[in-house]
Every structure is written in structure tokens, then in C-alpha cells.
């Protein structure tokens, strides 16, 4: 079995989140991060998030020049891969929150929320503490606690 496989969260509900990362298998995902996430996976995530690749790169703190170098190399470095995987995991959680509706999840992911100081989950997820706040917000919404 390949280390990389296609993920479709909520298979039973027909979700359409297709990305070549093992978001549902932490051990495999760690290996993928350590090996360096391939640039085409970053492009897949940008498409799912309905944003341009440079905007995603900025959101995960990768400069345009660095992104151009990584495109030539074909893979991100460990720290960059970790930030991209964090964004992908959060977006996957948002897609689950919206029962597999990728488009609605993308709108939510880019909208400002009072619980995040008016920032969007995408903006807030640039740091691990911010990502944890987004995870917590998703958890509260899933349990009907709106703050």
C-alpha cells in the first residue's frame, strides 16, 4: 500500500474532499510531513480552499520566493509541510462540520468569526495556538455551543 492515498472524509455522506495526504492516519501523515509534502498537494489544498496558491502560501507562512524554490524542488521542507498539513487537517474538520459540503466549509473557513476576534479560521490557523482555537471553535459548534 502506498504511503499516500486519497482521502474522502465522510465517505458515507458523499463528501468530496480529495487531497493526497493521509489526514485520517496520523502515523502516515507524520511520515509524509517528514518526507516533505509534494507541491501538487499544496495546489490541491489551494483549490479546495478556493484560493490562489500564493494566498495559501502566505497563510502558511511561505514566501513567494520560497514557494518558487519548492516548486523547482518538488517538495516542501519539514516546517512548511507541517504548516500545510495543519491547514489541511483544520479544513478537513470544517468539511466534516458541514457534512462534506466543501464549498460551504470553504466559505466558513474564510469568514470572520467573533470567537476568533473577527478573523477567519484560515487567518487564525497560521500558528499552532491559533489552530487550536479553530479546533476548539469547531468542537463548540459541533456540540451546539456558540460563543
Is 4 a member of any domain? no
Is 6 a member of any domain? no
Is 46 a member of any domain? yes
Range of the domain at 40: 11-142
Q: Model confidence over 6-55: pLDDT tens digits?
A: 333 333 223 446 889 999 899 999 999 999 999 999 999 999 999 999 99
Is 81 a member of any domain? yes
Is 3 a member of any domain? no
Residue/partner pairs of 43-50 with CB below 8 Å, 24 or more apart: 44/18, 44/19, 44/20, 45/19, 45/84, 45/87, 45/88, 45/91, 48/17, 48/18, 48/19, 48/91, 48/102, 48/106, 49/87, 49/91, 49/106, 49/109, 49/110, 49/122, 50/103, 50/106, 50/110
Q: Model confidence over 41-90: pLDDT tens digits?
A: 999 999 999 999 999 999 999 999 999 999 999 999 999 999 999 999 99
Is 82 a member of any domain? yes
Is 5 a member of any domain? no
Total domain count, the chain: 1
pTM as predicted? 0.86
Amino acid at each position: 500500500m502506498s504511503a499516500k492515498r486519497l482521502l474522502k472524509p465522510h465517505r458515507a455522506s458523499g463528501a468530496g474532499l480529495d487531497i493526497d495526504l493521509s489526514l485520517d492516519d496520523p502515523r502516515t501523515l507524520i511520515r509524509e510531513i517528514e518526507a516533505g509534502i509534494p507541491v501538487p498537494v499544496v495546489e490541491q489544498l489551494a483549490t479546495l480552499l478556493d484560493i490562489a496558491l500564493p494566498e495559501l502560501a502566505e497563510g502558511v507562512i511561505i514566501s513567494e520566493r520560497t514557494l518558487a524554490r519548492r516548486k523547482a524542488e518538488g517538495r516542501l521542507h519539514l516546517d512548511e509541510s507541517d504548516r500545510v498539513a495543519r491547514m489541511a487537517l483544520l479544513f478537513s474538520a470544517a468539511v466534516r462540520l458541514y457534512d462534506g459540503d466543501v464549498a460551504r466549509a470553504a466559505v466558513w473557513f474564510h469568514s470572520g468569526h467573533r470567537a476568533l476576534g473577527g478573523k477567519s479560521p484560515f487567518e487564525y490557523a497560521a500558528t499552532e495556538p491559533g489552530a487550536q482555537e479553530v479546533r476548539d471553535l469547531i468542537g463548540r459548534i459541533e456540540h451546539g455551543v456558540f460563543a
